[in-house]
Amino acid sequence: MIFTALQVALGGAIGAACRYLTNVAMKALLGIGFPWGTLTVNIVGSFLMGALVVVLARKGGTHLTPFLMTGVLGGFTTFSAFSLDAIFLMEEGKSEIALIYIAVSVLISLAALVAGLALARGLVPLP
Protein backbone atom coordinates (compact mmCIF):
# COMPACT_ATOMS: atom_id res chain seq x y z
CA MET A 1 0.00 0.00 0.00
CA ILE A 2 2.75 2.49 0.92
CA PHE A 3 4.69 1.62 -2.25
CA THR A 4 1.60 2.34 -4.37
CA ALA A 5 1.06 5.65 -2.56
CA LEU A 6 4.68 6.58 -3.28
CA GLN A 7 4.18 5.73 -6.96
CA VAL A 8 1.12 8.00 -7.06
CA ALA A 9 3.03 10.79 -5.27
CA LEU A 10 6.00 10.58 -7.64
CA GLY A 11 3.73 10.47 -10.68
CA GLY A 12 1.70 13.38 -9.31
CA ALA A 13 4.83 15.49 -8.91
CA ILE A 14 5.85 14.76 -12.50
CA GLY A 15 2.35 15.51 -13.80
CA ALA A 16 2.06 18.76 -11.85
CA ALA A 17 5.45 19.92 -13.12
CA CYS A 18 4.37 19.09 -16.69
CA ARG A 19 1.14 21.03 -16.19
CA TYR A 20 3.11 24.05 -14.96
CA LEU A 21 5.55 23.86 -17.86
CA THR A 22 2.68 23.49 -20.34
CA ASN A 23 1.01 26.61 -18.92
CA VAL A 24 4.25 28.57 -19.14
CA ALA A 25 4.86 27.40 -22.73
CA MET A 26 1.32 28.19 -23.89
CA LYS A 27 1.46 31.69 -22.38
CA ALA A 28 4.76 32.29 -24.18
CA LEU A 29 3.37 30.96 -27.46
CA LEU A 30 -0.18 32.33 -27.48
CA GLY A 31 -0.37 35.04 -24.82
CA ILE A 32 -2.46 35.43 -21.69
CA GLY A 33 -5.88 36.43 -23.05
CA PHE A 34 -7.28 32.88 -22.93
CA PRO A 35 -6.49 29.87 -20.68
CA TRP A 36 -4.63 28.00 -23.43
CA GLY A 37 -2.50 26.06 -20.95
CA THR A 38 -5.50 24.65 -19.08
CA LEU A 39 -7.29 23.81 -22.31
CA THR A 40 -4.16 22.09 -23.60
CA VAL A 41 -3.61 19.95 -20.50
CA ASN A 42 -7.29 18.96 -20.41
CA ILE A 43 -7.26 17.84 -24.04
CA VAL A 44 -3.84 16.19 -23.98
CA GLY A 45 -4.53 14.56 -20.62
CA SER A 46 -7.85 13.17 -21.82
CA PHE A 47 -6.23 11.82 -24.99
CA LEU A 48 -3.43 10.18 -23.02
CA MET A 49 -5.87 8.73 -20.48
CA GLY A 50 -7.85 7.12 -23.31
CA ALA A 51 -4.76 5.74 -24.97
CA LEU A 52 -3.16 4.51 -21.74
CA VAL A 53 -6.22 2.70 -20.43
CA VAL A 54 -6.25 0.58 -23.59
CA VAL A 55 -2.49 0.07 -23.92
CA LEU A 56 -2.00 -0.84 -20.26
CA ALA A 57 -4.90 -3.30 -20.34
CA ARG A 58 -3.77 -4.94 -23.59
CA LYS A 59 -0.08 -5.11 -22.74
CA GLY A 60 -0.48 -6.31 -19.14
CA GLY A 61 0.67 -3.02 -17.74
CA THR A 62 -2.16 -2.38 -15.30
CA HIS A 63 0.39 -2.43 -12.46
CA LEU A 64 1.57 0.93 -13.85
CA THR A 65 -1.89 2.46 -13.45
CA PRO A 66 -1.23 4.08 -10.04
CA PHE A 67 1.93 5.78 -11.30
CA LEU A 68 0.85 6.73 -14.82
CA MET A 69 -2.89 7.31 -14.65
CA THR A 70 -3.57 8.34 -11.07
CA GLY A 71 -0.18 9.96 -10.52
CA VAL A 72 1.18 11.49 -13.73
CA LEU A 73 -2.12 12.18 -15.47
CA GLY A 74 -3.89 13.00 -12.20
CA GLY A 75 -1.19 15.57 -11.48
CA PHE A 76 -1.32 16.82 -15.04
CA THR A 77 -5.11 17.16 -15.10
CA THR A 78 -7.96 15.53 -13.21
CA PHE A 79 -10.16 16.36 -16.18
CA SER A 80 -8.77 13.26 -17.86
CA ALA A 81 -10.14 11.04 -15.09
CA PHE A 82 -13.49 12.84 -15.31
CA SER A 83 -13.52 12.25 -19.07
CA LEU A 84 -12.69 8.55 -18.66
CA ASP A 85 -15.45 8.06 -16.07
CA ALA A 86 -18.02 9.77 -18.30
CA ILE A 87 -17.09 7.72 -21.38
CA PHE A 88 -17.02 4.44 -19.44
CA LEU A 89 -20.55 5.17 -18.19
CA MET A 90 -21.65 5.78 -21.79
CA GLU A 91 -19.93 2.61 -23.03
CA GLU A 92 -21.76 0.65 -20.32
CA GLY A 93 -25.04 1.91 -21.77
CA LYS A 94 -25.60 4.34 -18.91
CA SER A 95 -25.92 7.45 -21.08
CA GLU A 96 -28.44 9.17 -18.81
CA ILE A 97 -26.23 8.66 -15.77
CA ALA A 98 -23.22 9.87 -17.78
CA LEU A 99 -25.01 13.07 -18.79
CA ILE A 100 -26.13 13.67 -15.21
CA TYR A 101 -22.57 13.04 -14.01
CA ILE A 102 -21.20 15.51 -16.58
CA ALA A 103 -23.78 18.21 -15.83
CA VAL A 104 -23.55 17.84 -12.07
CA SER A 105 -19.74 17.73 -12.12
CA VAL A 106 -19.41 20.88 -14.19
CA LEU A 107 -22.23 22.89 -12.64
CA ILE A 108 -21.59 22.00 -9.01
CA SER A 109 -17.83 22.36 -9.40
CA LEU A 110 -18.32 25.85 -10.82
CA ALA A 111 -20.80 26.68 -8.04
CA ALA A 112 -18.39 25.33 -5.42
CA LEU A 113 -15.61 27.50 -6.82
CA VAL A 114 -17.88 30.58 -6.68
CA ALA A 115 -18.86 29.67 -3.10
CA GLY A 116 -15.20 29.26 -2.14
CA LEU A 117 -14.37 32.63 -3.69
CA ALA A 118 -17.24 34.32 -1.88
CA LEU A 119 -16.41 32.72 1.46
CA ALA A 120 -12.71 33.52 1.23
CA ARG A 121 -13.39 37.06 0.07
CA GLY A 122 -15.69 37.56 3.03
CA LEU A 123 -13.33 36.01 5.57
CA VAL A 124 -9.99 37.29 4.36
CA PRO A 125 -9.70 41.09 4.35
CA LEU A 126 -8.00 42.89 1.52
CA PRO A 127 -4.49 44.17 2.30
Model pLDDT for residues 10-54, shown as the tens digit of each residue: 999 999 999 999 999 999 999 998 989 989 999 999 899 989 999
pLDDT computed for residue 70 by the predictor:
95
Indicate whether 104 belongs to any domain: no
Model pLDDT for residues 55-111, shown as the tens digit of each residue: 999 999 999 999 999 999 999 987 888 898 899 999 999 999 999 999 999 999 899
Indicate whether 83 belongs to any domain: no
Indicate whether 64 belongs to any domain: yes
Q: What is the model's pTM? A: 0.77
Q: Which domain holds residue 72?
A: 2-77
Rounded distance between C-alpha atoms, residue 94 and residue 7, angstroms: 32
Indicate whether 72 belongs to any domain: yes
